[in-house]
Amino acid sequence: MIVPSKHRDVLNLQSEGRLTLTRHPDGCLLMFPRPVWETARGEIAKWPISVKHWQRIFLGNASDVEMDGAGRVLISPELRHATKLEGDSKVMLLGMGSHFEIWEADAHEQNEAATIAGGFPEELKQFSF
């Protein structure tokens, strides 16, 4: 995957191009600058035994990668398969503040449509811009 140029410089400054990818249960991948991931990993490791299965999803699927000089990141076959990023899939990279989500475009569109169809959750009804 090629990281868009607008994000490359920031990632190079923040983590020298060192990134961590892991699986998310929504069907996407999470891409963290390594220092951010190391903090998150520490928090996830503290989770109670009752959520050990969730730890396995996030920690067990984590893969350290490096962005090359052209801004490319190699996504392992296991992570590509888990998120349907195979062959000529169109990839979407969404900035989420501290990290990115990597989606197969059709899956993201379906997920977003389902979210909108489900209506605004009660917890956000007081939120406005």
Count of domains for the chain: 1
pLDDT at 113: 96
Domain that holds residue 11: 5-124
pLDDT at 79: 96
Low-confidence ranges of the chain (pLDDT < 70): none
Q: What is the pLDDT of residues 95-121, one digit of tens each?
A: 999 999 999 999 999 999 999 999 989
Q: How many helices (H) and strands (E) does the chain have?
A: 5, 5
* 60 within a domain of the structure (yes/no): yes
pLDDT at 89: 87
pLDDT at 91: 94
pLDDT at 97: 93
pLDDT at 57: 95
Q: Assign residue 43 the CATH number of its domain.
A: 3.40.1550.20
What region, left, alpha or beta, does residue 121 occupy, with left being phi > 0 and alpha being psi -120 to 50 degrees?
A: beta
* 129 within a domain of the structure (yes/no): no
